Amino acid sequence: MYITSIANQKGGVGKTTTTTNLSYNLSRRKKKVLVIDCDPQGNASQTLSKVSPFELEKNIGMLFSDGATFSSCAVPCKYEGIHLIPNNLNAGSITLSVDYNDPMRFIGFRTALERDIDFMKTFDYVLIDCPPQIDSLFLNNALVVSDFYIIPVEAGSAYALSGVDALLRVVNKIVAVNPKLKLLGALLTLLDKRTKAGKIIANSVKAYFQPENVFKTQIHRNTVIERSNIAGRCICDFDESALGCRNYRDLATEFMDRIESFNG
Ligand code: ADP
Ligand code: MG
């Protein structure tokens, strides 16, 4: 079982779209996936949950109560092979009630995971959709339990790399308590290859991270993805012929290969 956080302080860079569509394509390869929605906006939950995340009794907020376990918060998704720990604005506000001195601000997930390791081991992959904040209890908790993290970078934005330094500073602090945490790769998203700007930004991302730390798979800007998100569906379930579907299928292959190569 490998835990991967999908993180970037910047909003709108494709964190949630990557989490949901990667989970979908891994599940199509008969992998069991747990998605943990760490963003109180609950967008991943909206795509994956069978019912509105607000109607679910189980949610991520419960993880911070006494004796909580992951299995007690997880629900099966609309897609077979994927379980979800849902989030919504109500559940997300639990973070406000966790005292500033409470160690659960960092080890809430780890505590719940250790209590529940048998359940967690039923999954091949755990994907954590992180919130677009750097000083977030959810981000800290996610990175403390993760083996890997992926940084989606918006290839269509001149400010693509702004905020990445801040995220890497948080990562460096977390590595002190979780030395296994590694960058699985930066992922170029929302790429428009027809524009020169797209190419320039792609090159600067490779220079920043080193080319081997950037996924070869690139996620192109594809309006069908926007429509699939609006419909609350994953792209390959919505339109198998879409470029976005091919991109996320390729990403699932490269994701598994990269994890494999890290583990020799
Ligand atoms: P984040 O989770 O980082 O905030 P999202 O995954 O929610 O980012 O994506 C931001 C917006 O961009 C959403 O409206 C989403 O539907 C859209 N989007 C994401 N990826 C693509 C893509 N490859 N092509 C077109 N639209 C996309
Ligand atoms: Mg999001």
- pLDDT for 134 equals 87
82: confidence class by pLDDT, cuts 50, 70, 90:
very high
Residue with tokens 């800290």: 140
* Centroid of ligand 1 to alpha carbon of 160 (angstroms): 14
Instruction: State residue 104's pLDDT score.
Output: 81
What ranges in 49-136 are assigned the alpha helix state H?
Answer: 89-92, 104-115, 117-120
Give 41 Cα–ligand 1 centroid separation in angstroms: 14
Ligand 1 pocket: which residues have CB below 6 Å?
11-17, 43, 132, 189-190, 219, 221-223, 225-226, 229, 244
Q: What is the rounded CA–CA span in Å between residue 154 and residue 161? A: 8
pLDDT value at 237 more than 90 = yes
Q: Comparing C-alpha atoms, which of 146, 151, 144 is closest to residue 174?
A: 144
Q: Which of 151, 136, 147, 134 is nearest to 178 (CA)?
A: 147
pLDDT of residue 7: 97
Q: Which numbered ligand comes closest to the C-alpha of 229?
A: 1
The predicted model gives 88-94 an average pLDDT of 83
C-alpha of residue 39 to centroid of ligand 2, in Å: 6
User: Would the pLDDT of 95 be above 80?
Assistant: no
Lowest mean pLDDT among 61-65, 69-73, 120-124, 213-217: 61-65
Give the model's pLDDT for residue 15: 98
First-residue to last-residue Cα distance in the chain: 15
Query: pTM, whole model, 2 decimals?
Result: 0.97
